[in-house]
Amino acid sequence: MLTTVAFGIAIVISLAIGAIGVRFLVAPRVAAAGYGVAARQAGDPAYFSVKGVRDTCIGILGLVLVLTGQTHALGLFMLVFTLIPVADAVIVLRNGGTRATAFGIHVSTAVLVLADAVLLLIAA
């Protein structure tokens, strides 16, 4: 039961981060505003592309690990993945974003991913 719940959460997290990545590639200005650091008028094509590709690949990797059924490996992946939303929160705060966005979106995501990592590692 614990493994099923942990895998379900990992699927949701992986699909969500993958969707965010695709959003950065398809609608970058909207995605940047949602991230918490508005895009400059002149554009930030490298920022959009890097963020979009990174998040899409992270989502795909999470789904691949789910499909392989490797509970321990998925747990370790989620543990390391926790660092990304923590770093994103710092980036938002250092670049004029709001505390509400940094903590409400990025830190809460880190807590969810960390909780899933713990569940997966316990279940392994």
Residue 62, pLDDT > 90, answer: yes
Contacts of 74 (CB under 8 A, 6+ apart): 7, 10, 62, 65, 66, 120
Tell me: the pLDDT tens digits for 79-114? Answer: 999 999 999 999 999 999 999 999 999 999 999 999
Determine the structural domain holding residue 23 and report its residue range.
2-123
Tally of domains within the chain: 1
Predicted model pTM: 0.92
Number of residues that make up the chain = 124
Residue 43, pLDDT > 80, answer: no
